[in-house]
């Protein structure tokens, strides 16, 4: 049982996780909870019970509690598909949210829409709410956000709107190649060697096609020369982030960039940009997501 | 029980499979067998019993039968590590083969060595035997072999030797991205649209760095515009093979190329090269592997 009931719940429901914050009416967090029941392992009929398992005890019995949710739960592979809003437009907010069917009367579920871009075709799946959280904390910000993750996003913001954005599957490729490919035995589970990393970034940026061969070279050097596993991991990460930086150059070159995220991926992007002479600002990803969900809730109740 | 006992056994033991040919003294195939007990699912102590499970019934009881084996079984992640031979050198052959410890007196096991290259660091894991099989069938061949697979190889052959070679993890990346990444729901399990494929090859060859973003575009177009799953699969394949062709350009540009393999991957490489104005010769991969194993057995007994 919870000490206190929720006034509302903020939720970030991604492919690999469900994170939620139990909130009071003043916007203060009463509790934080997390489960690995992400959309990747749920069928549409499973969502309501997954949510109740994690947060049923904080729902007051006598009313419907708003649950403001961003992320993959609002996509075709999730609970229900929310039509995305087309850029340029302000990111996040409650506009366009849908209420999927629920049986428990204590739930007032709201799935927030992602963004879409026609050319090049692109979509966000929760990152729009994180971007909205950054804008709420930094009104008037004009520049570029870099959001590392399973898929990273680069978004150009101006006058409170997302002007354009691009997604890269770099994080997912890194996870698949380091854990499941021929490279797996060569690559450490953790650790980053800054010199090996930035050298690989520079190499990939100057010769992006060569990356196709450089990846196997990691395996060969490991076999033939006992390449250090942390160096191998750093080189794999650097090659993949380097090719992304080359493709995303119009986003960061000559721009003010902020990286939204914590941990090694955000550190890696910061180090890669620093090697290009660019000092990026930093923001906390979960904090920005909660900020964005707060802003959407404020619109709902305001 | 087998109709006839083996005089010797030819084996190709890779990460995902064990293929073997039961042979008579004249080099004719008596039987072909296949198992999914590849090195990826075996510990060193499991190899002997895996082999006996598949072929114990064809071993004569009164003598040791040579088993000539190429592939990942002879690597550090396999049964026993065979020191590789350095290029330039003739591919394949029995020279440098090792005999791993076995308990069953009916087995005379021989693991063939792969090739290694110092700069850029590279190794083969069975492909050297396939190359030797091609050379046995085409003595005097001077040109380039392309060997599609989990990892593809490009090898420059001259005067009966492998001069240099390069490996690419393209096949493995295609399998991981199409089956396990965010792209999975967008991508058909089979089928190739030639126009979408060659367009993606050309795009990746001219702008290799852009591939980092083009991959996610497949997902976005699928969501937003209902991209045909076969077109999506063709584009994914074309982008990855295109970036490989850009990196391998010194191997194929202005060279006589033969593609060793069958099925869709070999067809895809042939189509990609054809779009660059290059008509490649073709060879059957399993047949060339058996050719190469035959040549090694001939050296052993000759």
CATH number, domain with residue B182: 3.30.420.310
| Minimal Cβ distance to A121: which of B183, B211, B220 | B220
CA B302 to chain centre: 27
Q: Is the pLDDT of residue B236 over 90?
A: yes
CB-based contact (8 Å) between A121 and chain B? yes
Judgement on whether residues A185 and A213 belong to the same structural domain of the protein: yes
Judgement on whether residues A58 and A130 belong to the same structural domain of the protein: yes
Of B4, B79, B7, the residue nearest B41 (C-alpha): B79
Q: Is the pLDDT of residue B196 over 90?
A: yes
Q: How confident is the model at residue A78 (pLDDT cuts 50, 70, 90)?
A: very high
A273 located within any domain = yes
CB-based contact (8 Å) between B183 and chain A? yes
**Distance to chain A for B202, nearest Cα, Å:** 13
- Identify the bridge partners of residue A116 per DSSP, sorted by sequence position: A86, A123
pLDDT at A292: 97
> For A235-252, how does the pLDDT look when each residue is reduced to its tens digit (9 = 90+)?
999 999 999 999 999 999
Contacts of A53 (CB under 8 A, 6+ apart): A35, A37
**Whether the Cβ atoms of residue A83 and residue A112 lie closer than 8 Å to each other:** no
Cα distance between the two ends of chain A: 30
Q: Is the pLDDT of residue B207 over 70?
A: yes
Better pLDDT: B181 or B27: B181
Judgement on whether residues B248 and B201 belong to the same structural domain of the protein: yes
CA B114 to chain centre: 12
pLDDT at A27: 85
Give me the phi and psi of A282, to 5 degrees please.
Answer: -130, 145
Tokens describing residue A257: 């960039």
A155 located within any domain = no
CATH number at A78 reads 3.30.420.300
Search chain B and give the residue with CA nearest A170: B212
> For A247-294, how does the pLDDT look when each residue is reduced to its tens digit (9 = 90+)?
999 999 999 999 999 899 999 999 999 999 999 999 999 999 999 999
> For B53-78, how does the pLDDT look when each residue is reduced to its tens digit (9 = 90+)?
999 999 999 999 999 999 999 998 89
User: Considering its fold, how many domains does chain B have in total?
Assistant: 2
Span B30-37, average pLDDT: 97
Judgement on whether residues A129 and A187 belong to the same structural domain of the protein: no
Span B117-131, average pLDDT: 96
Mean pLDDT score of chain A: 96
CA–CA gap between residue B155 and residue B140 (Å, rounded): 15
A150 located within any domain = no
CB contact under 8 A, B220 and A150: no
> For A96-149, how does the pLDDT look when each residue is reduced to its tens digit (9 = 90+)?
999 999 999 999 999 999 999 999 999 999 999 999 999 999 999 999 999 999
Judgement on whether residues B14 and B134 belong to the same structural domain of the protein: yes
Q: Is the pLDDT of residue A2 over 80?
A: no
Q: With helix as H, strand as E and coil as C, how does A175-221 read?
A: HHHHHHCCCHHHCCCCCCCHHHHHHHHHHHHHCHHHHHHHHHHHHHH
Provide the strand spans (E) within B118-235: 122-123, 143-147, 152-158, 161-168
Which residues in B lie closer than 8 A to residue A170 (C-beta atoms)? Answer: 212
> For B100-118, how does the pLDDT look when each residue is reduced to its tens digit (9 = 90+)?
999 999 999 999 999 999 9
High-pLDDT (> 70) share of chain B, % = 99
B163 located within any domain = no
CA–CA gap between residue A140 and residue A91 (Å, rounded): 13
Of A240, A242, A252, A285, the residue nearest A154 (C-alpha): A252
Judgement on whether residues B262 and B295 belong to the same structural domain of the protein: no
- Identify the bridge partners of residue B102 per DSSP, sorted by sequence position: none
B45 located within any domain = yes
Per-window interface: A 131-170 vs B, CB < 8 A: 150-151, 166-170
Judgement on whether residues A267 and A213 belong to the same structural domain of the protein: yes
**Whether the Cβ atoms of residue A18 and residue A50 lie closer than 8 Å to each other:** yes
Span B256-261, average pLDDT: 97
Instruction: Give which of A118, A148, A216 to mutate to test B binding, by max B Cβ within 10 Å.
Output: A216
A180 located within any domain = yes
Q: How confident is the model at residue B2 (pLDDT cuts 50, 70, 90)?
A: low
Q: How confident is the model at residue B279 (pLDDT cuts 50, 70, 90)?
A: very high
Rg (CA), chain B: 20
Secondary structure of residue B260 in the 3-state scheme: strand
B151 located within any domain = no
pLDDT at A288: 97
Span A23-39, average pLDDT: 94
Q: Is the pLDDT of residue B1 over 60?
A: no
Search chain A and give the residue with CA nearest B183: A169
High-pLDDT (> 90) share of chain A, % = 95
Search chain A and give the residue with CA nearest B40: A182
**Whether the Cβ atoms of residue A31 and residue A254 lie closer than 8 Å to each other:** no
CB-based contact (8 Å) between A219 and chain B? yes
Tokens describing residue B235: 């584009």
pLDDT at A302: 81
Scan for tokens 């904090």, then name that residue. A287
Judgement on whether residues B45 and B89 belong to the same structural domain of the protein: yes
Judgement on whether residues B121 and B14 belong to the same structural domain of the protein: yes
pTM, whole model, 2 decimals? Answer: 0.94
CA–CA gap between residue A199 and residue A99 (Å, rounded): 49
Tokens describing residue A100: 């999927």
**Whether the Cβ atoms of residue B242 and residue B221 lie closer than 8 Å to each other:** no
Judgement on whether residues A15 and A130 belong to the same structural domain of the protein: yes
Give, in order, the Cα–Cα distances in Å from A72 to each of A8, A185, B36.
20, 32, 36
Judgement on whether residues B214 and B279 belong to the same structural domain of the protein: yes
Question: What is the domain extent for residue B89?
Answer: 8-138+291-301
DSSP H helices, B210-248, are 211-225, 229-247
Q: How confident is the model at residue B274 (pLDDT cuts 50, 70, 90)?
A: very high
CA–CA gap between residue B24 and residue B190 (Å, rounded): 38
Q: Is the pLDDT of residue A152 over 80?
A: yes
CB-based contact (8 Å) between B213 and chain A? yes
Mean pLDDT score of chain B: 96
A2 located within any domain = no
Of A7, A127, A134, A112, the residue nearest A58 (C-alpha): A7
Of B149, B162, B133, B135, the residue nearest B251 (C-alpha): B162
pLDDT at A82: 97
């Amino acid at each position: 049982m919870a000490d206190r009931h929720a006034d509302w719940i903020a939720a970030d429901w991604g492919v690999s996780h469900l994170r939620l914050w139990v909130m009071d009416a003043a916007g203060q967090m009463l509790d934080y909870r997390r489960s690995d029941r992400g959309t990747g392992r749920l069928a549409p009929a499973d969502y309501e019970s997954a949510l109740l398992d994690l947060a049923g005890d904080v729902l007051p019995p006598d009313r419907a509690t708003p649950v403001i949710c961003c992320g993959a739960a609002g996509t075709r592979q999730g609970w229900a598909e929310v039509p995305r809003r087309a850029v340029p437009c302000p990111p996040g907010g409650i506009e366009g949210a849908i209420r999927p069917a629920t049986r428990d009367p204590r739930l007032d579920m709201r799935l927030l829409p992602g963004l879409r871009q026609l050319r090049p075709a692109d979509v966000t799946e929760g990152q729009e709410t994180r971007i909205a959280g950054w804008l709420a904390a930094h009104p008037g910000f004009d520049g570029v956000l870099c959001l590392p993750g399973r898929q990273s996003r680069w978004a150009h913001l101006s006058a409170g709107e997302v002007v354009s954005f691009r997604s890269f599957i770099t994080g997912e490729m890194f996870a698949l190649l380091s854990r499941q490919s021929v490279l797996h035995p060569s690559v450490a589970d953790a650790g980053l060697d800054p010199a090996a990393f930035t050298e690989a970034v520079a190499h990939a940026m100057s010769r992006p096609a060569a990356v196709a061969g450089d990846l196997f070279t990691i395996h060969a050097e490991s076999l033939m020369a006992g390449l250090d596993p942390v160096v191998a991991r750093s080189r794999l990460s650097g090659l993949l982030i380097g090719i992304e930086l080359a493709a995303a150059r119009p986003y960061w070159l000559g721009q003010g960039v902020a990286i939204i995220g914590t941990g090694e991926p955000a550190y890696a992007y910061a180090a890669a940009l620093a090697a290009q002479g660019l000092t990026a600002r930093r923001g906390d990803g979960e904090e920005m997501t909660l900020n964005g969900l707060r802003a959407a809730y404020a619109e709902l109740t305001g």
